[in-house]
Amino acid sequence: MPTLTEKIDSREWVTGDNLSVTLHYLLDGTDNDVTARDLLLASTPSAYEGVIRDECTLEPIVVDTVAATGKWDCRVRYIAPENSVPRALRRRASVIPPSASNPSAVGSGTVEICKSSAHTDRLSPSIISTAQLKSL
């Protein structure tokens, strides 16, 4: 049966405007990456000390498919809720159904986005209004 153990040097904190916490784990007992991922997600909290789970990373250390065992280096990163972009909005940037209120949408239901290398501004999710998101 797979086990998940937090590493002794686990808890990395970044304070300030980009608050984050990264917890490090060792997962032992499976050669299956999907099983490893599911165990990591089920065994770690979705929120920790006021920050929310943002991403999980699994890297194989040893995978033996013959013996059906393995070890995985795992990291779970937590970020401040105000720094999170909801999954629905992440997908929305690539596929937007055409509508009368969205003239930039092309007939296939996608939006072609062009960005020059000279223009690299990033908008914070906290300053984008719902109306602005709908116009993307």
pTM score: 0.61
Could you report the per-residue pLDDT of 45-59, keeping only the tens digit for each? 999 999 999 999 999
**pLDDT value of residue 41:** 96
Radius of gyration of the chain (CA): 20
Separation between Cα atoms, residue 120 and residue 84, nearest integer Å: 20
Give the chain's residues under pLDDT 50: 93-96, 105-135
Separation between Cα atoms, residue 80 and residue 17, nearest integer Å: 9
Separation between Cα atoms, residue 26 and residue 113, nearest integer Å: 40
**pLDDT value of residue 82:** 87
Where along the chain do its domains lie?
Answer: 3-83, 85-136
Separation between Cα atoms, residue 98 and residue 53, nearest integer Å: 33
Strand partners, 56: 76
**pLDDT value of residue 71:** 97
**pLDDT value of residue 57:** 96
Tokens of 26: 């060792």
CA distances in angstroms from 103 to 56, 97, 110, listed in the order given: 37, 11, 11
